[in-house]
Amino acid sequence: MSEIIFVRHGQASFGEEDYDKLSQNGHRQAYLLGLKFKDLDFEFDKIICGGMVRHRETLEEIQKNINLSNVIIDQRLNELNYQQLEQSYCKLFRASAPSNSEEYHAFFPKLITAWAENKLPNLDESYQTFCNRINGCIDQHMIKAKKILMVSSGGPTSILANRALSLSHFGTAEILNFTMNSSYSIFKKINNRLTLLQYNCTPHLDNLENQDLKTFI
């Protein structure tokens, strides 16, 4: 049975000109995650990282505390194109873009549902194509591997949860909404079926001194 430790990247630089890099908090979150992996004696026979800057920076921080060699960069683990989706949705429905976390949390289920129902025009990637590339990546790397570390984003996490739990579009969006920065979820393939064992684990942030590091955006 193959097991995946699927990590969402540390907090990115929300509100900055270049979102695709870790914030100061994000670097700290990922560093602490590496410490926790060391404490738990996690050993991986395969390490797969998405191709985005925030993915690589997260892995680099983890690597400061645990030996991870032979890393494979797989672009299929890259995040959905949120800006393109938002622009398409707002233009189609004459809606305003969300401007704070509460508005984002209300907006995501509407956005994901419209995308999944093929209502959004002028996109580089359909919802089904996004699902197929994430699932294809997972299925390929789980062959002949016992324990895999994957570093990616909230969107791919939600697709795997959808596959394991047969979620509605709303449920998929809620997973995307509430997957915490630097959290990890554990998936296992049992009898050729993907099963979710643990979701949104943040033991590295449970100390009182690290409570401010618990972030979603």
- Boundaries of every domain in the chain: 3-79+126-213
Q: Give the amino acid at 207.
A: N
Q: Which of 133, 152, 156 is nearest to 72 (CA)?
A: 152
DSSP β-ladder status, 147-152 and 3-8: parallel
- What is the model's pLDDT at position 1? 77
With H, G, I as helix, E, B as strand and everything else as coil, classify residue 163: helix
- What is the model's pLDDT at position 100? 86
Distance between CA 196 and CA 185 in Å, rounded?
Answer: 8
The domain 3-79+126-213 having CATH identifier 3.40.50.80: the answer here is no
Mean of pLDDT over the chain: 94
Contact (Cβ atoms closer than 8 angstroms) between residue 197 and residue 187: yes
144-203: pLDDT as tens digits: 899 999 999 999 999 999 999 999 999 999 999 999 999 999 999 988 899 999 999 999
Say what the pTM is.
0.95
- What is the model's pLDDT at position 16? 66
Residue 103 token pair: 């508005």
